[in-house]
Amino acid sequence: MEKTPIAVLISGRGSNMIALHEAMRKQSMHAEIACVISSSASAEGLQYARENSMPAISYKPELWRDDQQVTDAILHTFSEYHVQLVVLAGFLKKIPEAVVQAFPNRIVNIHPALLPAFGGKGMYGRHVHQAVLDYGCKVSGATVHFVAVDYDTGPPILQECVPVKADDTAESLAARILQLEHRLLPKCVDLLTRGKVQIEGRTTRVLE
């Protein structure tokens, strides 16, 4: 069976991209990483991509300040590598509306909290986990969701919880949730590329 070409977008270490790539090597998945795009030329994840023979792409910084130019660049890259599914793996830039519209229900993001709680602009990385602790939550977790025009508002596909411990710091909570992310994201990609996710409005159903 032909594998689904995927674009993975990163901004830093790319640990979720690495987890996805390793899952593809260990498991029989109907997907392959066709290209890796970074919002930063210095992102550590680009080096991993190059070392593993994946096209590693970063656009000039000024491109990200022009919505039309970055839209054109992203869509051109997706076309060049025949991308059918887009995975945001720690990607900190906002996806242009035209890109979201060009790939309806074909862009997914992993968020380190249980959406719709602790999502939205500015809610990434340590900021999320500190907000969870400050609010006094007893559980947190991770969400894989379809991407909509606004931050973290697309329909959830997979969610799982982890307990918040009394002595947790933002860093210790982040470490446990990251382990969960590394399992959930490959699972979601596998389900999507096998046609095992149905969506009606805001409701998704996993066919396992």
Query: Which positions are catalytic?
Result: 111
Tell which residue, 5, 95, 10, has the closest CA to residue 58. 10
CA 109 to CA 114: how far, in whole Å?
13
Of the CA atoms within 13 Å of residue 47, those in its CB half-sphere come to 5
Work out the burial of residue 153: count CB atoms within 10 Å of its CB; fewer than 13 is exposed, 13-18 middle, 19 or more buried: middle
- The DSSP code sequence of 178-205 is HHHHHHHHHHHHHHHHTT-EEEETTEEE
Residue 157 in tokens: 């596909």
Amino acid in position 6: I
Residue 85 in tokens: 């599914």
Tell which residue, 27, 26, 21, 7, has the closest CA to residue 194. 27
